[in-house]
Structure 1
Amino acid sequence: MKITANDLLAILRRFNVANADNLPRHIDQIKNSNPNPINQLVRFRFNRQHYFVLIDDTAEDRENYIMEQIFTAKSDARGVIFENPTSELTTYGLPFKGKDIYLFQQVSDSQRLDSLLAKRYPETSRSTWQKYIKSGNISVNGTPAKSARQLVTEADEIAVNLPEATDYSDKELPILYLDDNVIVVNKPSGVLTHSKGALNDEFTVADFFRRYTTVGLETNRPGIVHRLDRDTSGVIIGARTPEAFELLKKQFSQHLAKKTYLAIVDGTPQPPTAKIDIPIGRNPSAPSTFRPDPNGKPAQTIYQTLATRRNLSTIKLCPQTGRTHQLRVHLRHLHTPIHGDRVYGRSADRLYLHAYKLEITTQPGKRQTFIAPLPSEFIKLFPELDDEPNL
């Protein structure tokens, strides 16, 4: 039996849901199904509410049976079966074109658009959906969504049009070491360790690791066990297997990985060699930055001044902890910010911070050391660094 928008409008009027002012164009999203060979179920939307019409001569007003048929189209449907308004008894069925029909209205509470999307697609975080909404990738009832806080219901037609992932297969990074367990690369300054969000459209270390790992392929950070700031260059290690991931991650979290950095700073640290033991906390006036904070997290850095020239010094840094921006904040505290630090100092052609050496256990019983050669910009300012075999 073919059911049209005209038919559905007539049914709604029979149940006193629609009136003479309503038109067939007020009905859309019509979907037909056959829960059983002997019946027909029509799902549709009217005035932003979802309805079901069951055409079934065998239902005989049995509520459980009627709901079983509706559940075949939507297993979590909840709402109300309309009573027959023409009967003095409590009945549900109405005759229509020689068949018994039943009308069910789906009831759904309004909720935020980002919350609904996160429930429908739990593999994608709510914050990611917020970014998709902001970028115009989500529309509601044919109109681009304006806000993640927009209230919607299950009856709204929500379309998701996500951008295609960029192909970075032609992008390369310098590989320092590769075996069955780990990959080690020399990250250039300016390259992100991993994407900051779903819509980050630039090549990252994680994109490169994706070709070599089986870990975290469903995320935006496959193989990543630690990170370097975008503007920091140098050694970064990735895991190729779940076992290596757990081993490496544990060492970084327990400060068992030994890291050595080289930096060029503005001025000369005093004293020339020392251990900085100053807790670090987030800066409330600039939440993306950090500052010395007696109530912050413990942070220790050992440093040694290697050379000084033209109000610049090159120093070796051995962080004992791994706080975000730790080296940059500690050196700023000494009034010798890292040269080119546009956040904690002054801009230059680059941030002169390089992750030079990493000592870590790559598999049980195997401790290895990886070195990333100093960038040419460092050698240009301090040529003697080129003659140092192992800083």
Structure 2
Amino acid sequence: MTELPSTVRHAIERAQASSADPIALFVHDLDALRQHVRAVMAALPPKVELYYAIKANSEAPILDALAPLVHGFEISSGGEIDRVVGCATRKPYVFSGPGKLDSDLRAALRHGVEAIHVESLNEIARLQHLAEAAGRVQAVLIRINPQLPAPLSSKLAMAGTPTPFGIDEPELALAVRQVDQASHLQLKGFHVHAMSHQQQVERHEQLLDLYLQRWPQWRALAANPQTVTHLNVGGGIGVNYLGPQQFDWQRLCTYLGQRLGADAQAPIVRFEPGRFISAFCGYYAIAVLDTKTSHGKHFVVCRGGTHQFRLPVAQGHDHPVIHLPRQPRSTSAATQPWTVVGQLCTPKDILSRDYPLQDVRIGDLLVLPLAGAYGYNISHVDFLCHPRPSLLFVQEGGACQ
């Protein structure tokens, strides 16, 4: 069983002791977040940058903890611009994603966005008009939807297939020409984000090889290739929710360092992971409200549910569970499979199926780890009008709200 950090466990216990109702809340361990990110950053080879994709978790304490450590942020909406502008430590940020509003683009221009990733020919024309009106020459990266071999796809493919993301590779020359001819746009590089939640390091190595093989061809399309310096390879690095073996980041960085070191014309490579950065620091704690058996299946009914922590349903997995008994118990009790559900009036409100728990009782607490990314912030929290969960941020020396 995964051990809870003492600061996290104490925060959960204090929250339950001070609450009139059984709890459902998130706890984020900021010290663990910083430790993880320092290790991630230390592995980066020369000419490689890391921007945190804040869509994974954009809460202010998370951003404030990360800002001194990462090279910058990646955002995808006007609301996320507000988040990074409000960060205690200002860092460069880039603006990606389809369907950008004119008001979003104006805000990005006004707040000094480092680069905008253009997703279509229409967006290039629109951004030129807005940049000209703002009197600003704006750096852009063209997002490419490249042709990819089938083995390099994933469950969440975002390139190499029909998608709303990026410009198909056969249209790239036209897109580059359109940017080159724009008086207030400057081509800085290219962006390719092919897959999400990929856990196989070998596939990432193959993907980077493919990008770097095509980089000279892409760069040569520009009128001034010497100013085209950056290749943003996106994020997409997965988290193993069901076992201890995680993505071998050190191996990927070592491989990429060797690959870039052998190429005098190599670009500056930029990663923009989200899940792989923040997932490990978060915990979802829920109190057991009821236990029951139905048609031979054992159910634990808990405070909260998928309207607060949608990740297991979104990912299609049964989440790991840490059991915190309310009182010490005999270890001789039998372990049996329990399906952990929430309070919603739908049979889809399932957090984990047939998870082995020992002597679970009403009033106990269950804690779901790996809840720091794409959990609360993608959830339908207003469904059934249950109260929103508390978000706690803890670090050595006390809580940070």
Q: State the TM bucket, normalised to the shorter chain.
A: under 0.3
Q: Which has the higher contact order (CA 8 A, sep 6+)?
A: 2
- Give the helix-richer structure, 1 or 2: 2
Q: TM-score, normalised by structure 2?
A: 0.24
Q: TM-score, normalised by structure 1?
A: 0.25
